[in-house]
Amino acid sequence: MKIGVFDSGIGGLSVVRAIKKELPDLEIIFKNDKHNLPYGSKTSDQLFNLSKPILESLVEEGCRVIVIACNTVSTNIIDDLRKVINVPLIAMEPMVKPASEMTKTNIIAICATPATLSSGRYNYLKEEYAKGVKVIEPDCSSWSSMIENNEIDHDNIKNLTNKVCEEGADVIVLGCTHYHWIEQEIIDIADGRAKIIQPEKPVIEQLKRVIERQT
């Protein structure tokens, strides 16, 4: 089966790699929109107009399922895209619920783009699943660009990670696929003080369920 993976930039390649490892028989077509980066500062209308033709091209190339490997797109316009794209779309969104269930300190940190943090979907997740939990939202607005351009600011990552750990967060959520590329660095900095989670595994499990329904 042929599936598509779409992201704003190179972040989605980590998702492609994870899918290939788990489901090696799939044919995966990956497309991004690096010419219009960053997505994290765009409006919903801009996101829709940029994403729709790329997803349509994946359908035209025979993809029967598409993974939206972009939290910004998923949290802002997934419902609108599902109305116009005629194959199943699997969304990626910040793992607020798992983090809230895991925390022992009742403090979690969500690392995500400004557009994700301001989205209705993200705020619904907080209201629904993070009752009684303090949610720290550190300023990661520069991270996508620095990762995309391979200009990693290690001091910034270290300072931000240390800050949320010092504020008591014992779970750090990576709410942007770009951040998966620095996951190990964040794990090393957190050094047992906080667990680092991101949604590749649950997305792959959802992909398996969708594929099973199509075969």
Write out the catalytic residue numbers.
70, 176
Please list the alpha-helical segments (H only) found in 23-70: 44-60
Burial of 43 (0-12, 13-18, 19+ CB in 10 A): exposed
Q: Report the sign of the C-alpha dihedral through residues 175, 179, 182, 185, in that order.
A: negative
Burial of 116 (0-12, 13-18, 19+ CB in 10 A): buried
Over its C-alpha atoms, the chain yields an Rg (Å, rounded) of 17
CB 15 within 8 A of CB 202: no
Eight-state DSSP code of residue 106: S
Q: Report the sign of the C-alpha dihedral through residues 167, 168, 174, 178, in that order.
A: positive
